[in-house]
A and B are shown apart, each in its own frame.
Chain A
Amino acid sequence: MNEQDLRGLIEDVRRGKLSRRGFTRAMVALGLTAPLATQMLMHSGVAVAAEKPVYKPTKRGGGGALKVLWWQGPTLLNPHFAVGTKDQDGSRLFYEPLAGWDPDGNLVPVLAAEIPTVDNGGLAEDGTSVTWKLKQGVKWHDGHPFTADDCVFNWEYVTDPATAAVTIGSYQDVKVVKVDDHTIRVEFKKPSPFWADAFVGSVGMVIPKHLYEPYKGAKSREAPANLAPVGTGPYLFVDFKPGDVVQGKLNPDYHMPNRPYFDTIEMKGGGDAVSAARAVLQTGEYDFAWNLQVEDEILKRLETSGKGRVEILPAGSIEHIQLNNTDPWTEVDGERSSIKTKHPFLTDPAVRQALNLLVDRASVQQYIYGRTGIATANYVNAPEKVVSKNTHYEFNVDKAIKLLDEAGWKPGADGVRAKNGVKLKAVYQTSINAPRQKTQAIVKQACQKAGIEVEIKSVTASVFFSSDVANLDTYPHFACDLQMYTTTMTQPDPGVFMRQFLSSEVASKANKFQGRNITRWQSEEYDKLHQASEKELDPVKRAALFIAMNDLLIKNVVVIPVVGRPSVAAAANNLHAPLSGWDNNTYALQDWYRDS
């Protein structure tokens, strides 16, 4: 798949031979994001109009109570402090961005009057700025008008390092200028291929200037509005107990007609995913449940109760196995997996290929994840014609054995292969989570058959995913041979995501293990491709560069992708809840309604 192939596909879309959705799916399967795919189409002049979700209610309110379950409840309601998606989801009840991402990667206006394009003059041709027109007549919940000053303030608030906002990454490289009361211009320091970051989606929620101005910077924690949000969203704030419940009631002045439908909303937290699924699908106590990391077998069984359905949306998360390029068992300068070392056997391409053949993705999908994890080598889901010929996935123990034999790894007396005194013994770690432990069991069994001894290790998630510099069990330390977890592509642009394999990003003691390159794989070729992608303004050329990077990763077995993980939710049968895998679950909360 190169630039020309991509252009060919776009041409197919133009001629109607390939649906827009089909194109988006293909791009997602290639490891790109739906928003980038849409950008490619737009740039190539293929008209993109977001499909408006069906909305039947003809008047505001009257829908009664909406009860949703977030098994990890929101712990704070300031979107700029959001620690995880749960906090963003909770904030979205009250706060809104200028635009959100729909499931096909289209931008849909929320507080913006329209989506900026080159045609309507919103986008600068040279990619140095974007101008947003704001909706008129929008009011904060306390009656203050929403204006351009609020947007400019959000930028100032977030970029003040003393505020310590987690959204700073989306705002620090731009400058936000007020053009008039209802127009702002976001100026980029250099031509930027991806412009829809600040003020868009989960990082784009706007907080009111008149309540937050005194609490910018060091005093950011003390703002009373942190705990009692005043936004522009469809619901007014009623009550908040961190980790337990968020309550809201209908906003009678909401800026979209006939919305919202429900009179009150309750977002309940706590418990576990399985029982959350049970409460929606089996007993119908709740209308909606979020992020159901539950085995599909269980979901299917619960669905047979007929009270609700499971919603599965493509998203950019990939469960993958990382291969350590450095030696985790030798300490150099007090550091294990130091970049100064080389892994004793994982640097042998034959061993890497063999491991790739020993991961039975089809079984992992079929018997563990089902609909909630689609086997992938990054390429499989795409339509026939985009499947790359040189990368595919295969489970073949015999072939793995042959590869190892040819490379000189001979089985020893204990059945474990060895070469020059190096034994194929690997420690394989992951976080504690039932599907992961089962995947480990499946991989371990296959490896055993091929003469690779695998020791399974599992670390409690709160330790594994921490950034504790002193603890060897965290994933950035990677103090073992193989490890598995899901990387989530939270941001719509793959550029940031792809930084994870840059030579300059190698995690090490020197950078307190904050480098993003965990596998410690280094490739000049990859670095150059990434460099090029940062300057490329043509989204199609850029996509081709990302695909080339992706190819490199797969060809060298830097990582072994196992399954792509869509976002999974459960909804009551009579609930209409438009969802998107590229934005928060609550991104279109105003459009939710119930069949009467």
Chain B
Amino acid sequence: MTITIRAVDKRFGRYPALNNIGLEVRDGELLALLGPSGSGKTTLLRVIAGLEFPEAGQVLFGGQDVTYAHAAARQVGFVFQQYALFKHMTVAKNVAFGLDVRKAADRPSKADIAARVAELLKLVELDGLGGRFPSQLSGGQRQRVALARALAVSPQVLLLDEPFGALDATVRKSLRRELRRIHDATGVTTIFVTHDQEEALELADRVAILNKGQIEQVGAPQEVHDNPASAFVCGFVGEANRLVGEVTQGRFRSGAIQVPAPGVAPGAASAYIRPYDIVAGAPGEGFEATVRRIVLHGPVARVETVLDGGQPIEASFAREDLNGAVQGGRVTLKIKQAHLFPVVQG
């Protein structure tokens, strides 16, 4: 199911939550809505689900306008951050709920529902736990139940709102892989919301990055990381050193640091440099800095340095390139690549 979002506006009182959002979700893809809190990502998900209605714009499911259709009519599966399970029902009853509430004519037989429940519990690896109550399950298990319940109605779209937000790091990692596996097994178009860039980059086919109610960039994880469309994306996705400076005569200058700036308009600009785009330089090339701390991660050395002007710079390169650098000593560093963005005045 292709989902098209056209020029959607949504405000809460005077506060604009979504501002002219346009997005195309491809059939069968796993898309992440990534952004800081307050960026509007959850609101956008709820607009797609029919739990929130926009003031302007359109939401289309496979070409059909569902902007103001009720949640029940959209055939979406929604997974909430806090599970939202029915506490008074067993796991099996929770999963069967979407089928149980159908009108008699559309409702599968009891045996069919039981078979479907068993199949789904197997899919989320909870076989045999159908008789338990949600209170008897761990957080990770509860979220699996919520996932099975959402999938039970064979939704056209699966929507997940920070599905791993309430779980601890280990469970989150394993459930993340699980979601990818389930997505690949069912092939259902899936959109999930997260503020965790690692989660988004690892799990999604494509990532849509939101900031202040607007979409900054949509693309494959590698693409948004390597070619960020805006300063915000560059700062939010992946790590980066941020330098403020000026572009003159095709070069960006900030203190001792200079990088070529082809095609960047002269004037105030900021440079975002990934730690792993900074390498150890031979004496005479690049710039010098004082080492504050060296942290070794196996073969990789993370070198925290500070420039003479006080600007901190973090570099990350192979351990053997350290060349005897020590804490408190001086190192020569060279910038391989920088992302430059003109500073917007105002």
Q: Do A and B come from one complex?
A: no
